[in-house]
Amino acid sequence: MTSTSNTPFATPATSNPNTRPGTPSPSTPPTGGTVPADNDLRDDSSKLRTFLSLLKKFIGVSDIANVRFSLPAQLIEPIPNLEYWHYLDRPETFVSIGRSNEPLGRMLEVLRFWFTKDLKYVKGKPCKPYNSTLGEFFRCQWEIIADAPPISNPSKAPPQPSVDPTETQANGNTGEKPVRISFLTEQTSHHPPVSAYWYECPSRGIIARGYDQISAKFTGTSVRVVPGVFNRGIFITLTQRDNEEYQLAHPAASLGGLLRGSLYISVADTCSIICPQTRLKCLLTYVEESWFGKAQNRVHGLIFRYDPSDDKYTRVKDVPDKDILVKLEGCWQEQIFYTIPNSAAVKETPNIEPTSDKQLLIDLQPLFPVPKSCPPPHEQLPHESRTFWADVTTAINEKRYSDATRMKQDLEQAQRDKAAKRKDLNVEFKPRFFTAPTEPNGKPELTKYGKDTLAGLEKKEYGIDFVPEPGIDADT
């Protein structure tokens, strides 16, 4: 599943006790035009009825993600979009990438991270956060003390339980030095809505980056979401493994259950993970659900050797048996298993042996999203997400929906005024933390300001200078 910097959805949500106060339990759903402010809309069933009436306006619209509508506060969850959308629901799986000395082991570590990055979809309901504004940014950290179990020798490792959900957060009760991951994201484009992101764990030499952008279409019974043109997936670089790079492409996803009033996320697509340096590729097929019976959420896939200069296999069924190194299967909401077949590729690979039994890659059932740590309010900048939306958030939490809607509309008008100034001055917006709104290869680059901000996060030094937009911000 792919996330977006402008979520076109407005649906009920419930709070998740395993995330910070005010953080809703997750997912992806659609928006619409302006409707009357009415406190009764806060009720889930009323919100859903309103949501469905708005969706009807999108029938025939090719990409509703590019349509901007001002929603009343009652239909919005009080959390900024840039804070809500991220891929480190279980940061211990991220920092464990690269531990294995075997290329196949490292690919399995990447896969384990892959299946935990969307835990918010599994544990929560769809919700609609605030739309991100141009130049808005968010930064945070995770500190953990427990790694995910090793996969150093897949052929001999016994089935391992998933990490204990209570042991990933650094709490000062052990002598272990916590591992710190820093996260920085900025809304770099408004038309189309795009945000650039960067994760970094210096102590483990792991970097992840990319762009969040979606294209969405209402089919009449569901909303189908696919990656936007600038969204080339997640790029993970292992600096301690000769800059080994993995590209994780997002599959398409759908929001269903609209007519029944019971919303759910489904995935029916094939996606890939590639590593040109190790010449390993993974194909994952998310199985389409039947119209009848309980959803199975099945996924199966393969890891195999491929030629980066002749990448010809895009379907699992087309991969020759002789090239297969690992077979994967399971339920992406529960457990994922892998086996190593007795193939020619396995026989030619050192330190790998066929397995007769399924090995557990990850058990998602006991896991919940891990809370993040943000700079204190007095050290946040005016365009930092939590500060930018603070008054709206307070009003929504206090059920002052008319006030929240008015404040939200004031913020939106201020953004329109800035856009008009840029047009009058014939200038384009330049991101502060990233070198360009988008990059053709899908890999954003940090400015010096962005690098300094991440370095400060690593040291827990949050004070950074506000960089005004020349001629646009009030004090320039």
* Alpha carbon separation from 226 to 215, 231, 252 (Å, rounded): 5, 9, 5
The model's pLDDT over 162-188, given as tens digits with 9 standing for 90+, comes to 443 334 444 444 457 889 999 999 999
Residues 6+ apart with CB under 8 A from 347: none
Confidence of residue 148 (pLDDT cuts 50, 70, 90): confident
The model's pLDDT over 400-416, given as tens digits with 9 standing for 90+, comes to 999 999 999 999 999 99
Q: Which two tokens stand for residue 58?
A: 């999108």
What pLDDT does 48 receive? 65
Q: Is the confidence at residue 86, as pLDDT, over 70? A: yes
Q: Which two tokens stand for residue 379?
A: 């050290």
What pLDDT does 143 receive? 94
Confidence of residue 442 (pLDDT cuts 50, 70, 90): very high
Q: Which two tokens stand for residue 78?
A: 């009080």
What pLDDT does 12 receive? 30
Q: Is the confidence at residue 13, as pLDDT, over 70? A: no
Mean pLDDT over 229-237 rounds to 98
- According to DSSP, the residues that pair with 215 across neighbouring strands are 226
Q: What percent of the chain has pLDDT over 90?
A: 63
Q: Is the confidence at residue 193, as pLDDT, over 80? A: yes
Q: Which two tokens stand for residue 384?
A: 């930092």
What pLDDT does 172 receive? 41
Question: Are 266 and 254 within 8 A, CB to CB?
Answer: yes
Nearest of 409, 106, 157, 41 to residue 280 by alpha carbon: 106
Q: Which helix (H) or strand (E) holds 254?
A: strand 253-256
Total length of the chain: 476
Mean pLDDT over 87-95 rounds to 97
Q: Which two tokens stand for residue 272?
A: 């890939």
The string of DSSP letters for 161-206 reads PPPPTTSSB--SSSSSPPEEEEEEEEEEETTTTEEEEEEEETTTTE
Sheet order of strands, 253-256 included? 214-218, 223-227, 253-256, 264-267
The model's pLDDT over 313-349, given as tens digits with 9 standing for 90+, comes to 999 999 999 999 999 999 999 999 999 999 999 999 9
The beta strands (E) that lie in 257-342 are given as 264-267, 270-275, 280-286, 298-305, 324-331, 335-339
Q: Is the confidence at residue 25, as pLDDT, over 60? A: no
Over the chain, what is the mean pLDDT? Answer: 84
Helix (H, G, I), strand (E, B) or coil at 366: coil
State how far the Cα of 451 lies from the Cα of 10, in Å rounded to an integer: 35
Tell me which of 124 and 397 has the higher pLDDT. Answer: 397
Helix (H, G, I), strand (E, B) or coil at 140: strand
The model's pLDDT over 125-142, given as tens digits with 9 standing for 90+, comes to 777 899 999 999 999 999
Q: Is the confidence at residue 191, as pLDDT, over 70? A: yes
State how far the Cα of 407 lies from the Cα of 403, in Å rounded to an integer: 6
What pLDDT does 68 receive? 64
**Least confident among 63-77, 193-207, 367-381:** 63-77
State how far the Cα of 380 lies from the Cα of 373, in Å rounded to an integer: 13
Burial class of residue 156, CB neighbours in 10 A (0-12, 13-18, 19+)? exposed
Q: Is the confidence at residue 397, as pLDDT, over 80? A: yes
Mean pLDDT over 300-320 rounds to 96
Question: Are 310 and 296 within 8 A, CB to CB?
Answer: no
What pLDDT does 468 receive? 87
Confidence of residue 41 (pLDDT cuts 50, 70, 90): very low
